[in-house]
């Protein structure tokens, strides 16, 4: 998998308005992945409607979850290498607590 996270920039305009700015190639890759996942979800829905064997549906669900995890990994890597590093270098140590919460959310799955 190509490393798509090195160019992510994080801009904090205020405490309530934080944004990441991904390069266009990263946005394009993430959008392509999410479109593929969306298609997988539609396919799973169709499998349910057609009463496809449960094990086959579960296999497709597993593949879809794996694809979502890949998107999350790309975003998390970009967040750590971009936003977290930037905020730490600006003396904002609260970002560590935020990062821990984010990782805990990902690990619930």
pTM (2 decimals)?
0.80
Query: If we measure between CA atoms, which residue out of 42, 20, 51, 50 comes closest to residue 34?
Result: 42
Instruction: Tell me the C-alpha distance between 71 and 52, whole Å.
Output: 27
- pLDDT bucket at 18, cuts 50 / 70 / 90: confident
**In the block, which residue shows the tokens 């169709």?**
46
CATH value at residue 94: 1.20.58.1000
Rounded to 5 degrees, φ, ψ at 107 are: -80, -10
- At 87 the pLDDT is 93
The number of distinct structural domains making up the chain is 1
- Smallest CA-to-CA distance from 64 within 105, 34, 85, 84 is with 34
Q: What is the pLDDT of residues 50-91, one digit of tens each?
A: 999 999 999 999 999 999 999 999 999 989 999 899 999 999
| pLDDT reported for residue 1 | 47
Residue 9's pLDDT is 61
Residue 66: inside a domain? yes
Structure token pair of residue 90: 């600006």
Within a domain: residue 8?
A: no
Residue 5 has pLDDT above 50, yes or no: no
Taking the mean position of all CA atoms in its chain, how far away is CA 45? 22
Residue 6 located in a structural domain: no
Residue 16 has pLDDT above 80, yes or no: no
Residue 22 above 90 pLDDT? no
- Domain annotation covers residue 13: no
Q: What is the pLDDT of residue 11?
A: 58
């Amino acid at each position: 998998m190509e490393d798509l996270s090195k160019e992510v920039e994080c801009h904090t305009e205020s405490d309530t308005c934080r944004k990441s700015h991904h390069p266009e190639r990263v946005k394009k890759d993430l959008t392509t992945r999410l479109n593929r996942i969306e298609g997988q979800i539609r396919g799973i829905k169709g499998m349910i409607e057609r009463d496809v064997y449960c094990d086959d549906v579960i296999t497709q669900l597993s593949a879809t979850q794996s694809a979502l995890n890949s998107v999350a990994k790309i975003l998390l890597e970009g967040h750590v290498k971009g936003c977290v590093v930037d905020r730490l270098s600006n003396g904002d140590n609260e970002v560590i607590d935020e990062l821990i919460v984010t990782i805990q959310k990902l690990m619930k799955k």
